[in-house]
């Protein structure tokens, strides 16, 4: 049996960054590898490495029990996935889980002005918590859901692909996560269909 090369997203390689939006990029940490959904987040370290690639590194003193970062990040990711899918389907979504992250991760600043010293801004809040570390993603998801143009928020058109992107092309006609991967795979399939019909 000839195996069609699937260079889509090698299971061992880090997930591709193709979404043009951090919250959608987060959804794309699940992709299809050899026909099966693959979660690129299997350990805390996977999440940590992904956050570093997104330039949202965990604070060094963010402490959590083993496995907790993975669980927390997955919970946020799947909440965002559900809300994006609902919004895309023009259906009502329950923002409860996302709102928990927005509340628990929020912080605020205060001006502290000790006598004999210059005033300083001090940030308060649970900024060593995992919710705080993931707050930028939760916040960008909320912004996307409320202000994003969902005509341009799309899933890749390839039937065997689950990746999302924000179409920022001038023509607004982006169809694929990657032209090199899904666009070409699609063209090859269409070409085979045409040849078969002759």
CB of 58 or CB of 156, closer to Zn ion: 156
- Closest distance between Zn ion and the C-beta of residue 135, in Å? 29
CB of 101 or CB of 176, closer to Zn ion: 176
CB of 114 or CB of 159, closer to Zn ion: 159
CB of 144 or CB of 156, closer to Zn ion: 156
CB of 6 or CB of 71, closer to Zn ion: 6
Residue 92 to residue 83: CA distance in whole angstroms: 9
Residues lying near Zn ion in the complex (CB under 5 A) are found at 156, 158, 161, 163, 177, 182
- Closest distance between Zn ion and the C-beta of residue 189, in Å? 13
- Closest distance between Zn ion and the C-beta of residue 17, in Å? 13
- Closest distance between Zn ion and the C-beta of residue 182, in Å? 3
- Closest distance between Zn ion and the C-beta of residue 18, in Å? 8
């Amino acid at each position: 049996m000839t195996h069609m090369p699937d260079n889509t997203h090698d299971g061992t390689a880090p997930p591709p960054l193709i979404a043009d939006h951090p919250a959608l990029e987060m959804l794309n940490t699940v992709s299809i590898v050899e026909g099966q959904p693959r979660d690129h987040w299997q350990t805390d370290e996977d999440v940590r490495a992904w956050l570093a690639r997104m330039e949202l590194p965990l604070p060094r003193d963010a402490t959590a029990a083993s496995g907790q970062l993975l669980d927390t990040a997955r919970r946020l990711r799947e909440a965002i996935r559900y809300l994006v899918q609902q919004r895309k389907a023009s259906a009502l979504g329950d923002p409860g889980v996302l709102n928990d992250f927005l509340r628990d991760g929020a912080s605020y600043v205060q001006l502290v002005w000790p006598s004999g010293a210059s005033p300083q801004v001090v940030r308060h809040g649970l900024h060593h918590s995992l919710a705080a570390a993931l707050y930028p993603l939760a916040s960008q998801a909320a912004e996307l859901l409320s202000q994003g143009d969902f005509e341009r928020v799309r899933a890749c058109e390839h039937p065997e692909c689950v990746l999302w992107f924000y179409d920022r092309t001038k023509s607004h006609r982006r169809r694929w996560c990657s032209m090199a991967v899904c666009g070409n795979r699609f063209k090859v399939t269409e070409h085979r269909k045409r040849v078969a019909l002759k």
